[in-house]
Amino acid sequence: MLVLTAQQMGFRRTGLALAVAGGCAAPNVLAAADDIEKISVWSTQVKTSALYLQEQDIANKQADHISDLLRSIPGIDVGGAHSLNQRITIRSMDDKDLKISIDGAAQNSYMYHHMGNLQIHADILKSVDIETGTNSVINGGLGGAVRFETKQAAELLADGASMGGRVSVGVADNAGHRFSFTGYGELNEQLDFLAYYNQVSRDNYEVGGGKIKDQTGEQIVGTDGTVRGLEGKVHDALVKIGWNINAQQRLALSYEAYQDKGDYSYRPDMGLATDLVFEKGLGTPLLWPTEFTRDTLTLSYDLDWGQGSLLKASVFSNISELYRDEAGWALSPNPRFSGHAGQVTGEAKNSGFNLLAETPFDALFTDENHSVTYGLDYLKHDTDFHKISTDSSVAESQESAKNIAVFVQDRIEFASDLTMIVGARYDKYELDTTVVSNDYSALSLSLATEYQITDNLLVKLSSTELFKGPEIGEVFAGAGLRDSENSAIEAETGLNTELALAYQHHIGQSMTWSAGITAFSTQIDNYIFDSAMKPNPKHRWDQWKDNIGDMRIEGFEAYSQFTHNTLSVQLTYAQSSSDLSAFDHYAQLDGARLEREQGDTITTRVAYQLTDYDLDIAWEAMLVGGVADGHFLGGASMDNEKRSYAVHNLSAHWSPAALPALNIRLGIDNLFDEFYASQSSKNGITGHPLAGEDGLYLMDYEPGRNIKASVAYQF
């Protein structure tokens, strides 16, 4: 994946640094090597259609969780505090509705409803490219796209060097430590390589304020402020080999092996208060031996066939496996539960290929310039559930789905500072699951208009049709083994419409002020809910997957940024709300909101460079407003009010001019030791027989104050 420069995104005259044009300019489009913005060595570049961050050095955050990386971006949140539960949400839509990839390999695997769809360590990332909302036929899907790209050898080598490496160690008092080593180089003029290994040892952390509290605000008896069920180790290894066939062609092969292993909580998303209720009520262990692995093999090809025409293609296989030793069920005195004891494995395989090309040309008889982006995308999901019970009985199930899409998009730039982007995408989706075996297809169109009103002001209006077939069943819960058939279920369709304004003004030679706002309205017809009540249910758990109504999500993202020499000040504000117009037979759900809806969110960041001391310092704050009690789809049933919170972080980076290969970073996350849970995580009180009248308290506790430091040396 290559990212667009400001000029390629349509800011022809001023280079406004906001990607409001990026949505329909195809964030994934290829760009000539000379145009790509340079990235500081061993930093991570984050670009988003909601906010353009320019070479922001995410390394200073010492991110051990994707939330550290992305929560400051308006419209984006990452739910889940557990290493297994990195759950990206965009405009309250969860990761099942997003297109997520690493180096072009699709990551969407509905493994387990108690964990997220993404596991990756931020240290190896070169860039993160985020499409906030679906604004292009290039990606498809409902809620947007997140594309991670890992580092490459050529970008890390010092001038004139053929070999290099980096060693990094880090420690955090709340709680854990990590180590990474990277070697890279050029074997000759054509061959290069990168080998990376990272290990993170996580301990059980302490919550803000040092007390595990229940719904009444009282400390839970028998707790000491430390969340159990988090201790484990993450290993991540990556090998890349590149071959520059000639000046126009490159072939690259990469292999990544990821492992997350530990004695973890049974439900990583529900918090310690819930775990303790189940431990006591069922007589089962608090901790369960668990292992998640992912192996990804990717072969990519790049071609520049002249006159600005470019092509990128990749073939990949991505296998994820979740294993848990569930022998602990045998400890339950209740035979209803003790019979569940055994060894459970769920495997999800994503395989496919994609091709993306761009060809610019000038019209023969008119003044406009065209840039045509086109390609195809094929993805196949195969899932396999396997359980061996202690009585030697075996339960197995398999499901599969595949989607092939072709798309074309034309960006037409007129001499009058007007740009139009038109696109079309055709998807054919085949599904073979317990719920439904059927084929779905759709033609999706997009249209956008950009106008450069002045040298400093740009406006854009866009609309993109949406399509998504029914989701394959979650793997670890049986890969459809316990699902109910619903052959009448329909695909989700809809329309995403956005209006965006971007402004930038240079004040003298040293000051720049920029601001932007994007208002959006997303309509999803035939919205699919995994836990809809079946007709004439016999009990409260008699649920199935079905279309329940039409969902509308509306809101906006805004930002303002000021820079003056070595000072940078950034302020963002995001707001969204969702509302379901339910079908008649699901009238009880009318007006329901998305479970992961977040309150109004303000973020601010102040960064300053002390050039005389080779020191960078930064302060970040995230202020999240509360969300009133109401009907959330899949949320807590008794009380689902989401409380407001404020989190402040400090960071400092020192790289002495006399020894630039040395980087020392210090940071304090959650400076004021706030007790909170992300509103994109589990929250609230729900009814459950084991919890009695008080209900089951669902709070995915976030860590309290965390002081961390790291030292890295690049040679």
385, β-bridge pairs = 346, 397
Give 19-714's CATH code, choosing from 2.40.170.20, 3.40.190.10, 1.10.150.120, 3.40.250.10.
2.40.170.20
pLDDT tens-digit map of 616-666: 999 999 999 999 999 999 889 899 999 999 999 999 999 999 999 999 999
**pLDDT for res 80:** 82
pLDDT tens-digit map of 102-133: 888 888 778 898 988 777 777 777 888 888 88
- Report yes or no: 323 and 344 within 8 Å, Cβ to Cβ: yes
Report the alpha-carbon distance of residue 624 to residue 602 in Å, rounded. 6
**Reduced to 3 DSSP states, what percent helix, strand and coil does the chain have, rounded to the nearest 5?**
10, 55, 40
Smallest CA-to-CA distance from 700 within 205, 322, 177, 289 is with 205
Report the alpha-carbon distance of residue 326 to residue 371 in Å, rounded. 55
**pLDDT for res 365:** 65
| Main-chain dihedrals φ then ψ at residue 2, nearest 5 degrees | -115, 150
Report the alpha-carbon distance of residue 265 to residue 65 in Å, rounded. 18
pLDDT band at 9 (very low <50, low <70, confident <90, very high): very low
Token pair for 161: 């060097």
pLDDT at 241 over 50: yes
Q: Give the count of alpha carbons within 13 A of 385, CB side only.
A: 21
| Sheet (strand 99-102) strand order | 45-48, 125-132, 144-150, 99-102, 105-106
Smallest CA-to-CA distance from 385 within 319, 321, 336 is with 321
**pLDDT for res 424:** 98
Average pLDDT over residues 568-583: 95
Which of residues 628 and 7 earns the better pLDDT score?
A: 628
pLDDT band at 197 (very low <50, low <70, confident <90, very high): very high
Smallest CA-to-CA distance from 29 within 392, 360, 277, 342 is with 360
- Strands, E assignment, 205-308: 232-246, 249-264, 288-306
pLDDT band at 141 (very low <50, low <70, confident <90, very high): confident
Q: Return the SS3 of 279.
A: helix
What's the DSSP call for residue 593? B
DSSP string, 198-230: EEEEE-PPBBGGG--B-TTSPBPTT--SBPPS-
pLDDT at 220 over 70: yes
Q: Tell me the domain boundaries of the chain.
A: 19-714
Average pLDDT over residues 72-94: 86
Show Cβ contacts of residue 696 under 8 Å, excluding neighbours closer than 6 positions.
Answer: 273, 274, 277, 685, 686, 687, 688, 690
pLDDT tens-digit map of 537-550: 888 778 999 999 99
Report the alpha-carbon distance of residue 373 to residue 423 in Å, rounded. 9
Average pLDDT over residues 165-183: 94
Report the alpha-carbon distance of residue 300 to residue 208 in Å, rounded. 45
Average pLDDT over residues 418-431: 97
Report the alpha-carbon distance of residue 374 to residue 376 in Å, rounded. 7
Token pair for 292: 């998640």
Token pair for 353: 């290929």
DSSP string, 380-422: EEEEEEEEEETTS-EEEEEEEEEEEEEEEEEEEE-TTSEEEEE
Average pLDDT over residues 397-401: 96
**pLDDT for res 28:** 34
> Hey, what long-range contacts does 197-201 have (CB within 8 A, 24 or more apart)?
197/235, 197/236, 197/237, 197/238, 198/121, 198/123, 198/124, 198/234, 198/235, 198/236, 198/237, 199/233, 199/234, 199/235, 199/236, 200/64, 200/83, 200/121, 200/176, 200/233, 200/234, 201/176, 201/177, 201/233
| Main-chain dihedrals φ then ψ at residue 69, nearest 5 degrees | -85, -40
The listed range with the strongest mean pLDDT (13-17, 302-306, 383-387, 683-687) is 383-387
What is the pairing mode between strands 645-654 and 696-697?
unpaired
Q: Return the SS3 of 483.
A: coil
pLDDT at 16 over 80: no
DSSP string, 85-152: -BEEEETTB-GGGSEEEETTEE------TTS-SB---GGGEEEEEEEES---TTT-BSSEEEEEEE--
User: In angstroms, what CA-CA distances link 457 with 497, 517, 569?
Assistant: 20, 12, 20
Q: 621-636 burial string, b = 16+ CB within 10 Å, else e?
A: bbbbeebeeeebbebb
Q: Which of 228-237, 334-343, 517-526 comes out lowest in average pLDDT?
A: 334-343
AA letter at 157:
L
Q: Give the count of alpha carbons within 13 A of 363, CB side only.
A: 12
Report the alpha-carbon distance of residue 9 to residue 47 in Å, rounded. 12
CA–chain centroid gap for 57, Å, is 18
pLDDT tens-digit map of 31-76: 332 222 222 345 566 666 655 443 344 566 666 666 777 777 888 8
Report the alpha-carbon distance of residue 354 to residue 104 in Å, rounded. 8
Report the alpha-carbon distance of residue 287 to residue 302 in Å, rounded. 47
Smallest CA-to-CA distance from 140 within 93, 90, 92, 98 is with 98
Q: What percent of the chain has pLDDT over 70?
A: 90
Q: How many residues does the chain have?
A: 715
pLDDT tens-digit map of 375-393: 999 999 999 999 999 989 9
Beta carbons within 10 angstroms of residue 173's beta carbon: 15
Average pLDDT over residues 509-526: 94
Beta carbons within 10 angstroms of residue 82's beta carbon: 27
Show Cβ contacts of residue 486 under 8 Å, excluding neighbours closer than 6 positions.
Answer: 435, 436, 544, 545, 546
Average pLDDT over residues 585-613: 94
Mean pLDDT, the chain, integer: 88
**pLDDT for res 479:** 92
Average pLDDT over residues 3-21: 33
Average pLDDT over residues 218-247: 95
Report the alpha-carbon distance of residue 25 to residue 28 in Å, rounded. 9
pLDDT at 264 over 60: yes
Token pair for 448: 């956008």
**pLDDT for res 324:** 97
**pLDDT for res 152:** 83
**pLDDT for res 437:** 96
Report the alpha-carbon distance of residue 417 to residue 400 in Å, rounded. 48
Report the alpha-carbon distance of residue 494 to residue 93 in Å, rounded. 14
